[in-house]
Amino acid sequence: VEGIIVQQIQTPEGARPATIFPEVAGNSISKPLPKQLENFGRQLAIFHLQANRYPLNEDIPIYDLDTCLKKSVKVIGEFLRQRPEIREHGIFFQNLTLNLIKKLRGLPLDQFSWGAIHGDFIYSNFKANSNNDITLYDFERLGYGWRAFEISTYIGHLISGRQVADPIKLYTQVRDCFLRGYESIVALSESEKSALPLLYQMQRIWMKSECCERFID
């Protein structure tokens, strides 16, 4: 509606805010070249630096072990318990969550870079133009979290659906190219880099709980 910036629309999961923007020039790139990956990493680091300028806001989510693992596995378990045909899968999620918490608590999480993050930095949520400058959108999951959590979301989402003979090799190539760009702006510790696969599993558990709450998966 002309003159209205934001309005609510009814969706299967309830009322959600909606707004219309001009179409973004460029393309979402699901199979970026090494130089593109490096550039996307660099631009995410710039976004994180810019986000540091804004004051804390208590109204947006915090992506930590409590939210993404402890609370999420409870939501998943409750969803599964109500459905006898899939109830047994709750044990898998409980064991996976406990294992992740144990491994992540063994890392120096208090030393990980923390701040405002996009919350859903995946290739379908930004477009790159002919100069590979990106326009980032879809900020509905904006929150606070480890910057390594944000990086793991992008890398994990980019490669998780790919069918390749050597997935470890693909992961290593994508990670190295992306981090080369990111670390040209912001340095990461070795612990943060080694935690990326664990943080991506944490992100997937949290997303699964979101799906259970909305019953969209």
The region, left, alpha or beta by phi > 0 then psi within -120 to 50, assigned to residue 32 is beta
Spatial separation of the C-alpha atoms in residues 210 and 217, rounded to whole Å: 9
pLDDT in tens, 142-178: 999 999 999 999 999 999 988 899 999 999 999 999 9
Per-chain mean pLDDT for the chain: 91
CA distances from 19 to 5, 137, 149, 206 (A): 6, 12, 27, 26
Per-residue confidence (pLDDT) for residue 15, from 0 to 100: 85
pTM score: 0.88
- Looking at the predicted structure, is the pLDDT value of residue 182 above 90? yes
Q: Once rounded to an integer, what is the mean pLDDT over residues 95-100?
A: 97
Please tell me the predicted confidence (pLDDT) of residue 148: 98
Strand partners, 144: 62, 116
Residue 217 has what pLDDT? Answer: 52
